[in-house]
Amino acid sequence: MAKRDRTGSVKTVGTTKTARSGKVRRSGSPAPGRAAPWLLTSLLAGAGAVAATGIGLATRGLLPALGGKPVPSDLLRSPQFHEGVFRNVSAARPLPPGSAGGAAREFLFGGQPRRPKGPVPLVPPRGPAPADGVHVTWFGHASSLVELDGKRVLIDPVWSDRVSPSRVVGPKRLHPVPHRLDDVPDVDAIIISHDHYDHLDLPTVLELTRARQAPFVVPLGVGAHLRKWRVPDSRIVELDWGDSTTIGELTITATPAQHFSGRAFQRNNTLWASWVVAAPRHRVFYSGDTGYFGGFATIGEQFGPFDATLIQIGAYAPGWPDIHMTPEEGVATHLDVRGGVLVPVHWATFNLAPHAWGEPVERAWKEAKAHDVKLAVPRPGERIDVAAPAQVDGWWKALG
């Protein structure tokens, strides 16, 4: 099947072998609009804070942030799209039945120290990386810049103070953004893994649309949000799982993840994904937000090995085991996809789950050591040379 690449350059198209390999079972994900997914998104993205408070202030600027609504007929080509919603390969439960109340209580009143005890050390910009090799700059949470073979990909850029449709309520940054968006060098592509607020940020998208030319490479359906925000159609590339787009010498492939989506009251009408970024000599894998599932071994077989992986390790909870990984599962994913250096992401910047602030990286470090995995833990703003990553020094320990 051919796919249009509105950047004018190449296109590819894969099959969804990863999703249909038979190694994983297809069944359903929760129906849209159920209370449990709404609660979970609320916890994860702060939207619930808006709904719960209902204060007039919160509504200011809220409607545009909710984004657009995909046209279902545009999504029917996806094997993942059934009865109006996208589904995971296996049955993922955002919250097991009956656990919503407990999860909310734990999130709101759990005793874990959710904030760093002092200022998080930030590393200022150093300019573009050398054109050879692989370099990863982590800005906090999932926002990262991957530079490989002279190509650059900006991942899930979130420069706002809050991950919420509101500017006044919702999870707020625990450390400043380490670099100005202007300081990020020119990029060849901007990947958005899915449409939750901590990955798709309206003000950041508006600024990138104004100041840059790079295409936004997004899962199927997420283009509706971008179109609503006046991103030119020519800069939107929407991919199903298994689809690729080629931008110059860079090939970006959307691969399966186990998660869910939604920015308002509609659940799962846009797709979520993990990502393979391949340049002529190097490859990087980004997990997006996901539960641990059998699809990663298939991705490793098809696309691995990878020089580096960026893997979600934070925002897990016993109450939602299927849609975010624990640090141990993150390390297992790194091994499944055949990764070289593991760069843990999705921690440190926002308080989204009932665990201590530094726990994700502490557990990831322990698990990496147990499995002889090469780990790099940058400070926000720090750039890693994947060929020679600095030794992990436990910089976060002093902060809890």
Instruction: Let me know if 293 is exposed, middle or buried by CB neighbors in 10 A (0-12, 13-18, 19+).
Output: buried
14 vs 140 by CB, closer to Zn ion? 140
CB of 47 to Zn ion, least distance (A): 13
Instruction: Determine the interface stretch with Zn ion among 105-113, 194-202, 246-254, 362-370 (rule: CB under 5 A).
Output: 194-202
Q: How far apart are CA 262 and CA 222, in angstroms?
A: 10
198 vs 243 by CB, closer to Zn ion? 198
Instruction: Determine the interface stretch with Zn ion among 9-17, 192-200, 326-334, 357-365 (rule: CB under 5 A).
Output: 192-200
Instruction: Determine the interface stretch with Zn ion among 146-154, 198-206, 363-371, 392-400 (rule: CB under 5 A).
Output: 198-206
199 vs 283 by CB, closer to Zn ion? 199
CB of 63 to Zn ion, least distance (A): 22
188 vs 289 by CB, closer to Zn ion? 289
For residues 313 to 352, the per-residue mask of contacts with Zn ion, x marking binding by CB under 5 A and - elsewhere, is ----------------------------------------
Binding-residue total with Zn ion (CB under 5 A)? 2
Q: How far apart are CA 289 and CA 274, in angstroms?
A: 8
Residue 58 structure tokens = 């919160």
User: Omega into 30 within 30° of 0, i.e. cis?
Assistant: no
Instruction: Determine the interface stretch with Zn ion among 24-32, 196-204, 266-274, 337-345 (rule: CB under 5 A).
Output: 196-204
CB of 290 to Zn ion, least distance (A): 10
Q: How far apart are CA 12 and CA 30, in angstroms?
A: 31
CB of 352 to Zn ion, least distance (A): 7
Binding of Zn ion at residue 198 (CB under 5 A)? yes
Q: How far apart are CA 342 and CA 324, in angstroms?
A: 17
Instruction: Return the residue matching tokens 């393979």.
Output: 276
193 vs 253 by CB, closer to Zn ion? 193
Q: How far apart are CA 352 and CA 374, in angstroms?
A: 27
Phi, psi values for residue 45, rounded to 5°: -120, -5
289 vs 328 by CB, closer to Zn ion? 289
147 vs 289 by CB, closer to Zn ion? 289
Torsion of CA 83, 225, 323, 240, to 10 degrees: 60
CB atoms inside a 10 Å sphere around CB 235: 19
CB atoms inside a 10 Å sphere around CB 155: 27
For residues 285 to 314, the per-residue mask of contacts with Zn ion, x marking binding by CB under 5 A and - elsewhere, is ----x-------------------------
320 vs 365 by CB, closer to Zn ion? 320
Q: Which 231-290 positions form the footprint of Zn ion (CB under 5 A)?
A: 289
CB of 1 to Zn ion, least distance (A): 30
Instruction: Determine the interface stretch with Zn ion among 180-188, 191-199, 201-209, 217-225 (rule: CB under 5 A).
Output: 191-199
In the chain, what is the straight-line distance between the N-terminal and C-terminal CA atoms, in Å?
A: 51
Helix axes 100-109, 35-45, angle to 10 degrees: 20
306 vs 350 by CB, closer to Zn ion? 350
CB of 212 to Zn ion, least distance (A): 23
The H-assigned helical ranges of the chain are 17-20, 35-45, 47-53, 56-59, 62-66, 72-75, 100-109, 202-211, 223-228, 295-303, 327-336, 359-370
Q: Which residues bind Zn ion (CB under 5 A)?
A: 198, 289
